[in-house]
Structure 1
Amino acid sequence: MPNAPLTARQPRRNRYLLMRHGHSEANANGLIISRPERGLAGFGLSPRGHAQLEGLLADWRWPLPDRLLHSDFRRTTETAEWIGRHFGLLLAPHAGLRERSFGDLEGLSDDRYPDIWALDANDPRHRAFGVESVTRVADRMLAVIAALEAETQGETILLVSHGDPLQILLTALEERPLSAHRDREPLAPASITMLS
């Protein structure tokens, strides 16, 4: 595997479908749930999230996945379970796909996200409020793809993760400044973005 960083222009050995989890109980309650101690066991999909996945699978428009990796948070695991059952895929939880940790904002209102995103725009390395830096999120998300590229080829791999990590990953792959990750159109719950 070459040591060159992954980019959107660099040919990949696999095709990737990047999926944000379905609408969750955290979304429904307007809460930041970003730490494993709360996110692994609780705050799964909302009824709206179940309906989104039902509609998505009834009208699947993407290549059929060969493999399925997902964040081990409850909301991403439940999303992956729906996909896995539908396509007969085994689930592979991966901590590298976890939600970005929002540190001291854990459990607070999600109207605090813009405070962090404003700081991100000034410095993607910041760790204000104990948040995980944008640069660290980019490194771990890119590492997931780099490892898959090193071990397999010719597969369509579905990665189920969270809004911020996926926005950051896409920004990194596009070789845009990581400070601009919120300049992208926000990824909707249960949306899929294809990397070819």
Structure 2
Amino acid sequence: MTARTVVLLRHGRTAYNATMRLQGQVDIPLDEVGRWQAEQGATALATSHRAARVVSSDLERAADTAAAYAELMGLPVETDPRLRERSFGQWEGLTQDEIVDRWPQEYATWRRGGEPRGVDAETKAEVAARTTAAVRDHADLLDGDECLVVVSHGAAISLAITGLLDLDATAWRGISGMHNVHWSHLHRSAPGAVPGWRLVAHNVGAGYPLDRWQAGPHADLEPEPKSA
């Protein structure tokens, strides 16, 4: 048997997200907004998907996001390094301007959907292979009517979905990026059907307007009036 439903959930915001730095596999924690997003997203996700297992990337930002949801389910968080974000090698921790300044041609290739060479980055095919294998392995441990929630990272999730839909991870770019603590829902196809999974929903969140979601828990607070 295998899980009938797989939910892929992206982690909450970090300081690198807030300052537009490329994270890759740098292991940094959630910031204040990210912790709030994890709590709000967990509550929203629990209303529609009740997992039998919760599996996460072993990077802190993903594992802590997973913990917020798993606590509501009364489940432990299992970690799997195959669910880590794509490694961007020498680019990790840098801003777009810093990358463009040092690797203008490689950056232009990346923006066109190609592979940046000479920067020690993982290829898209490599990431799709490891993330897809991880999701399938964990899904195979569940019964057909159960749900698996997997907590991972933006590029890793896009490439996992591409792999689960049996599409070419190197050439196909039809999956949009995901916001922090938003999720995608895939459903197992009938036996023998191709592909083996179908994408039911993508980039679903807790229902906040995006600007409010990115601003965090204090966005609604009015500033104190200044004394005359």
Shorter-chain TM-score above 0.5: yes
Q: Kindly report which structure 2 residues correspond to 1:107-146, keeping only aligned pairs within 5 A, or say none.
A: 107-110=93-96, 112=99, 115=107, 117-118=110-111, 121-122=113-114, 127-146=117-136
Deviations 1:83-109 (A, max 9, x none): 122221111010010011000112211
User: What number of residue pairs does the alignment pair up?
Assistant: 178
Which residue of the partner structure matches residue 59 of structure 2? Answer: 73
Query: Quick check: which has more Rg, 1 or 2?
Result: 2
TM-score (norm 1): 0.79
Which residue of the partner structure matches residue 56 of structure 1? Answer: 41
Distance in 2 of aligned mates of 1:110 and 1:77: 26
Q: Give identity over the alignment, percent.
A: 27
Query: Please, which moves more after superposition, 25-34 or 92-101?
Result: 25-34
Distance in 1 of aligned mates of 2:140 and 2:69: 25
Distance in 2 of aligned mates of 1:93 and 1:188: 22
Q: Which has the higher contact order (CA 8 A, sep 6+)?
A: 1
Asked whether the equivalents of residues 7 and 186 of structure 2 are also in contact (C-alpha less than 8 Å), the reply is yes
Structure 2 unmatched ranges of 5 or more: 101-105, 188-228
Query: Please, which moves more after superposition, 64-73 or 81-90?
Result: 81-90
Please state how far the C-alpha of 1:150 moved relative to its aligned partner. Answer: 3.7
Q: Return closer, same or farther for 1:127/1:144 CA change in 2, 3 Å cut-off.
A: farther
Distance in 1 of aligned mates of 2:90 and 2:133: 26
Query: What is the CA RMSD across the aligned residues, in angstroms?
Result: 2.5
Deviations 1:132-174 (A, max 9, x none): 1101101101111232244332321110000001011112223
Which residue of the partner structure matches residue 168 of structure 1? Answer: 159
Structure 1 unmatched ranges of 5 or more: 2-11
TM-score (norm 2): 0.69
- Which is helix-richer, 1 or 2? 1
Which residue of the partner structure matches residue 152 of structure 1? Answer: 142
User: 1:99 pairs with 82, 85, 90, which one?
Assistant: 85
Asked whether the equivalents of residues 16 and 93 of structure 2 are also in contact (C-alpha less than 8 Å), the reply is no
Moved over 6 A (4+): none
User: 2:8 pairs with 9, 18, 35, which one?
Assistant: 18
Please state how far the C-alpha of 1:27 moved relative to its aligned partner. Answer: 0.6
Which residue of the partner structure matches residue 8 of structure 1? Answer: none
Aligned partner of residue 178 in structure 1, secondary structure: coil
Please state how far the C-alpha of 1:22 moved relative to its aligned partner. Answer: 1.0
